[in-house]
Each structure stands twice: as C-alpha cells, then as structure tokens.
Amino acid sequence: MDFDTLTYVVRDGVARITLNRPHAGNALDLQMSKDLMYAALAADEDPSVRAVVLGANGKLFCAGGDLGAFHDAGDRRPALIKEMTTYLHAGISRMARMAAPVVASVHGAAAGAGMSLVCAADLVLCGESAKFAMAYTAAGLTPDGGSTYSLPRLLGTRRTLELMLTNRRIDATTALEWGLVTQVVPDEDLAATTDALAARLASGATAALGSAKRLVLGSFDRSLESQMELESRAISDAARTADAAEGIAAFLEKRPPKFTGR
C-alpha cells in the first residue's frame, strides 16, 4: 500500500507504519494526518495483521505539527488545523480500538503531536537518546492527538500539567520512571528489540489482546461493578474462541500455545 508521507508494510502478521518525512523531522502536515488515518484503517481491517509497529525514518521520531505549513496557511490556519486533527484523531481512535497491539518504536525526539502518537500506543520502546516534550504551548497552541486524555491517565495530573505548561523536555530514563514508555534500550538495539516484541505479540491470542485493550481503555469512566460485568462478558466471549481452546490445552499439556488469532 502506497502513501505519500509514510510507508506501510505487512509481513509475518506485523503491520509497520513508518513516518517518512525525514527532511521535515517527520512533522505532521495535512497529508501525513490523512495517511496515518488510512494506514490505521488498513491495519484494523486486515485480518492478517496481529501487531502494529509505529516508527519513523530519519534522525527524529516526530517533531510535532508542521509549523511551517501552519504559518503558510495564513487566515486558513484554523481550518487547516481542524481538518488535520479530524484525520489524526480518527487514526488514533482506530489504533486504540483495533485488536492488534500497537508498539511505538521511538528514537530521537518525540515532540508535540509526536508525543501524542507515543501516548496513543499500547507499548512504547525507545532508545537511550530519545527525548520527549509536549511543546504545544511554546508555539501558542494547545495539545491534541488525545494527549489531554491519555497523559493524565499515564502520568497523573501534576506531571501532565508540568509537561503541558512548562514544555519540559524529559529524557528516556525519566520517561521510563514516570510510566510514559515501556522499555528503554541502547539505541543500536532498538530495531531488534522492536522486531522481537512485535513478533511475540503477533503470535499471541489477538482477540483476547484486543478485548483487554478495550477493557482498560474504558475502565476510568466506569464503576467497579460495571467494569466487572464487562470483564465477565469479555472472558466468556474469549472462551468461545479457538485460541482459548488452544491456550488451555497447551497449558495442561505443558507446551507453548500455537495461536491463530481466531
């Protein structure tokens, strides 16, 4: 599948979405916002996709929104940003709700919308040299990409406000300590570690992984009793799948399971 601002490749059950505007620090413009939405839709609709890796070419993961494009838009700036966020938010919504786990593989800087993309992933691997910053208010703008939803849940209100109001840049070690990322690895090991994790996820019980994602995503808005009722329904539905039968049998037979994603 061909896109103008990113590459999209599916191999061995893993869809790789790679931001590809290295000359612009992989900053998001209107076309990249569209491409991200359509790539997320493609991954969500492809039954062969059992894990997604979101990465980037070049020195940076993503420098944020394309401020040059915002400047050139002049009086059309508000309409342009509204259109961009319509596509970007649709793509992030697809990633959050698709059954396949989404892994962000981060090198260099992830700022502004780039940090919002990091927050949208289920698991985040980063190199030791990675840096993270919200950066929106430094340009007189406000956060988007679902970051005002995800960051308070990941970091808590105080740390979220610190990042959004002061635009503090944090390094990989701090990001790990705060819970923004899942694992920090040497820069030279990032690609191999990402590949290994993606392969492990792609061999998992895809329907169960997706159901677990949805349960966690909505848990903050429900009572304990409502959440437990949904857990009961979800595990009962999972018990109907071929993967559940295989997983239970494999456990009892003391062998690795061979999940098919069904």
Q: What are the pLDDT digits (tens) for 172-219?
A: 999 999 999 999 999 999 999 999 999 999 999 999 999 999 999 889
pLDDT digits (tens, 9 = 90+) for 234-250: 999 999 999 999 999 99
Q: Which residue has the tokens 């992989």?
A: 26
- Residues (pLDDT < 50) of the chain are none
Spatial neighbors of 163 by CB under 8 A, at least 6 apart, are 133, 134, 151, 155, 170
Name the token pair of 81.
């940003």
pLDDT at site 169: 97
pLDDT at site 184: 98
pLDDT at site 221: 87
Distances in Å between the alpha carbon of 82 and those of 44, 77, 107, 108, 144? 24, 9, 28, 28, 10
pLDDT at site 185: 98
pLDDT at site 218: 87
pLDDT at site 1: 79
